[in-house]
Structure 1
Amino acid sequence: MRISRRALALAAAAVLALPLSACGSGEDGGGSTDASGKVEGDITFQTWNLRANFKPYFEGLVADFEKKYPDTHVKWIDQPAEGYADKISADAAGGTLPDVVNVSPDLVAPLAKAGLALDLDKAAAKYRPEYLDGAWASHRIPGTSGTYAFPWYLNTGPLFYNKALFRQAGLDPAQPPKTYDDLFADALDMARKSGGKVATLANVPTIEDFGRYGVELMDQQGTGFAFNDAKGVELLTKYKELYDAKALDPQALTATPESSGKKFLTEAVAMNPGSALDLANFQKQAPNLYKNIGITDQITSTGHVNMYVMGVMVNSRTRHTAASVAFAHFVTDARNQMSFAKQVAIFPSTAGSLDDPYFTKEDGTDETRVRIAAAKSLKTAVNYTPVLFSDQMKTALRNEVAKALQGKESPKAALDNAVKACDQLLRQQG
């Protein structure tokens, strides 16, 4: 996936609409779930917009694997970010899906439903203890019993805030909000004391925000959504209060992560989520903001921050199951994940890696401070976005949230309508 300023996973690709009869890539049309055989054969590995910046790393990775297993040959291909989901869908339907594929949880869900993703709980259970619990669980599909991709790189990040805007509003910049009650109270204070000129937040609540707030997002069977419960209505009601008071930026209804980031960069809003990658950008593009930057933890009612995760899936129809599983594990093992994490601001999903001094030893810089805090929080982080929650569902939720904020519907009616629309889309997925 594209490694962006917003830390890899904010622009999730559209969920795939695959027919359940879709074929895999093996020319004989079949494959094996037995990964215990000899590691041999020619396999294809597909990544998501990584060649431009990381070609030497991946070429070295392939060379190391082929040296370890001389009877293998790995062909590495890289697809652009644009249209990645469509490309996977077309390959799956046409029987040309690569043996090993870089996926996000929402992309692996329809492949698993179509029988094209190898169940690693059966084929690679021996590797399960090597990964963080939350990371391994991120590629499980509600209503099924399997795990359908090795977890790869993770990301999360803090909340940044503008200390100068806090001071101007009479708020203590050394005491940023730690709870949702604090956040909503401070946001209303800032809007009131600035005459509505300074908003605290630039984004409407997303499915991740409902998750962090403690809302039950989906039933355990994966057959329906549940974010229209009392707690979900409570959160949206609070956002409605912020919107009416101009504590939520008026353009939040149509904001993108990029536009929200720009609002924070130009000091038009007081708080915005981000990652260690953002600090260098602040320093370069907004030195005044950088001078006044505050860094605090994600706000959550659950005690678990949100985690973005990428994975590596094995095509269940591969003709070389042992080689494909071995390579997918090799890409995501502790040594190679650690090597990749030192090239870009991402985090390994392997157990114990986050205890490395690189993620624990302070050196006095803000970049290291953010990296250490993020690594600590990732040990118990959760991927709140349900794997079955497609881009169409995100749009449906966003549209209903906008109606509630504008007063066209009550928060309860808006979330009821959003759940109804998402449930209908879920049924269409098959």
Structure 2
Amino acid sequence: MRISRRAVAVAAVLATVLPLSACSGGSGDDSSDASGPVKGKITFQTWNLQANFKDYFNGVIKDFEKKYPDTEVKWVDRPAEGYADKLSADAAGGTLPDVVNVSPDLVAPLAKAGLALDLDKDETAASFRDEYLPGAWQSHQIPGMDGTYGFPWYLNTGPMFYNKRLFEEAGLDPEKPPTTYDEVFDQGLKLAKQSDGEIATLAQVPTIEDFGRYGVQLMNKEGTGFAFNDAKGVEMLTRYKELFDKKALDPQALTATPESSGTKFLTESVAMNPGSALDLENFKTKAPTLYKNIGITDQVTSTGKVNMYVMGVMVNEKTKQKPAAVAFAHFVTDATRQMSFAKQVAIFPSTKGSLDDPYFTKEDGTDETRVRVAAAKSLKTAVNYTPVLFSEQMKTELRNQVAKALQGKQSPQEALDRAVEACDTLLKQS
């Protein structure tokens, strides 16, 4: 099971069924805070976790109820498919659980509807802020709104793999792979030239995360519109077009998927590709020659900070048992519980200091630890570059306009202007 996942168009789904009037349909007293006694019965909802982690969560609940004898936690788990629809129905019907497993894009419409507790305004919840990595805490903040609307839970990221043999054959230092976009562009052109266009450096067109890692401002400060069509955004897309024209960006990148780009890397026709420990095992069994020449480095970034994927835990603003709900949301996501969970599945804790544990810093010669150590190191300063309000439809609009620019059907400026216009229209509709 892949534990790092994002719902398809979840924000759009929730927004269509969550009028602001939903905030008046809760069953609790939203004027209360979490400073009272921790007691009462609460419901905790997760997202497709029960099948593989039943014993773990039952243990967490047992420990919590032991610490707080006057509490009772009911755990419900929902399948990945239809999760956003279920949240929508619960929110509109006033039956949203007390504590809910969410991703940033899921929490945004709930926060706008007044159904997600602002942790920064609740004195008890806010007191836990310094326990988490700053980038993780900020991931559940909504552009245009003050506050933080979910405890950060587990994180995920992946390193960049590169083919040392291909770099060496192009006259590049295989022990010093490109780490910034400018280095990728420059070395990519050299690699393509040396191979007569047979070897590309990258296999996918730039995504919104690439624009973020390049240092482009993605949204305006008010959160009311997108801004990636600025001079820096145009500069990056112009460089990508140069790669595409010189075959340093794979010719099939316009229609590539993560799976197809992975295959390109596997067959050694692409020099760099993002991945995970699962990919290393795949290389070892299916492409032993490639495996012998695998290099592992951080994600490419010109900001010095890599991208992180975040899951969180939200407290229902309308819960009748706010002290217990806040206490449990914090308990599930504290350093002890996160460290325990990370040793069961390939995720990373969002709590400060956890990534300094030997589990994330010491290699033992296995593929798993090689990737784990590299990823954990980069996560300490990582940020979630994907705007909370950037939907799947917006991703499609950006991809389509980028493809037209790479094909020369319009200039990079025109492409990004049209992408921003389309995304702004979708933003207003949501």
Give 1:381's aligned residue. Answer: 382
State the SS of the aligned residue for 1:144: coil
TM superposition shift of 1:25? 8.0
Q: Secondary structure at the match of 2:359?
A: helix
How far off its partner does 1:310 sit? 0.8
Deviations 1:252-286 (A, max 9, x none): 22222233223323333221112334323332343
2:88 maps to which residue?
89
Contact 2:9 2:393 in 1 (8 A): no
Matching of residues 166-205 of structure 1 within 5 Å: 166-205=167-206
Alpha carbons of structure 1 residues 420 and 80: separation in structure 2 relative to 1, 3 Å: same
Deviations 1:324-367 (A, max 9, x none): 11111011000000001111221111111111121222334443
Distance 2:126 2:32 in 1: 12
Query: Is contact 1:32–1:319 with CA below 8 Å preserved after alignment?
Result: no
Normalising by structure 2, what TM-score? 0.93
Q: What is the RMSD computed on CA atoms of the aligned residues?
A: 2.0
Write the letter of the residue equivalent to 2:10: A
Following the alignment from structure 1 to structure 2, what is the Cα–Cα distance between the partners of residues 258 and 324? 40
Partners of 1:195 and 1:59 lie apart in 2 by: 58
Q: Partner of 1:164 in structure 2?
A: 165
Task: Tell me how far 1:176 sits from its aligned partner.
Answer: 1.4
Residue of structure 1 equivalent to 2:145: 144
203-212 vs 297-306, which moves further: 297-306
Distance in 2 between the 1:421 and 1:173 partners?
Answer: 41
Alignment partner of 1:50 is 2:49: yes
Between 89-98 and 327-336, report the one with greater CA deviation.
89-98
Deviates more, 1:218-227 or 1:326-335: 218-227
Aligned 8 A contact 2:276 2:371 in 1: yes
Match of 1:37, as an amino acid?
Answer: G
> CA-to-partner distance for each residue in 1:93-138, whole Å, 9 max, x for gaps?
2222221111111111111001010011122111111111111111
Residue 164 of structure 1, CA deviation: 2.7
User: Residues 256 and 92 from structure 1, CA distance in 2 versus in 1: closer, same or farther, beyond 3 angstroms?
Assistant: farther
Mapped partners of 1:226, 1:278: distance in 2: 34
Secondary structure of 2:22's aligned partner = coil
What's the CA shift for 1:80?
A: 1.9
Amino acid of the structure 2 residue aligned with 1:421? A
Q: In the alignment, which residue of structure 1 is the partner of 2:271?
A: 270
Query: Within the alignment, does 1:41 sit opposite 2:8 as a pair?
Result: no
In the alignment, which residue of structure 2 is the partner of 1:14?
10
1:101–1:237: structure 2 CA closer, same or farther, 3 Å change rule?
same
TM-score (norm 1): 0.93
Distance, in Å, in 2 between the alignment partners of 1:51 and 1:296 is 34
- The answer for unaligned runs of 5 or more in structure 1 is none
Does residue 1:412 correspond to 2:413, yes or no? Answer: yes
Q: Name whichever of 192-201 and 394-403 sits farther off.
A: 192-201
Return the alpha-carbon distance in structure 1 between the equivalents of residues 427 and 37 of structure 2: 40
Aligned-pair CA distance for 1:11: 6.5
Which amino acid in structure 1 is aligned with residue 346 of structure 2? A
1:423 aligns with 2:424: yes
Letter in 2 for 1:410: S
Q: Per-residue displacement from partner, 1:371-426 (whole Å, max 9, x unpaired)?
A: 22322221211111111111121111111111111111110001001111111111
Shift of 1:221: 1.2
Residue 231 of structure 1: aligned partner? 232
Which residue matches 2:115? 116
Amino acid at match of 2:145: T
Cα offset for 1:190?
2.5
Distance 1:329 1:233 in 2: 42
Letter of the structure 1 residue corresponding to residue 115 of structure 2: L
TM-superposed deviation, 1:165: 2.6
1:16-415 to structure 2, matched below 5 A, reads 16-17=14-15, 18-23=18-23, 26=26, 28=27, 30-123=29-122, 124-415=125-416
* Maintained 8 Å contact 1:33/1:118: no
Letter in 1 for 2:96: L
| Structure 2: gaps spanning 5 or more residues | none
* Deviation readout 1:60-98 (Å, 9 max, x if unpaired): 112211222222222222222223222222222222222
Would you say the 8 A contact 1:277–1:345 is kept in 2? Answer: no
Task: Write the distance in 1 (CA, Å) between the matches of 2:86 and 2:169.
Answer: 50
Partner amino acid, structure 2, of 1:89: S
User: Contact conserved, 2:25 with 2:92, CA < 8 A, in 1?
Assistant: no
Aligned residues of 1:25 and 1:318 also touching (Cα < 8 A): no
Q: Which moved more, 1:275-284 or 1:103-112?
A: 275-284
Offset of 1:220 from its aligned partner? 1.2
Does structure 1 retain, via aligned residues, the 8 Å contact 2:398–2:419?
A: yes
Amino acid at match of 1:14: V
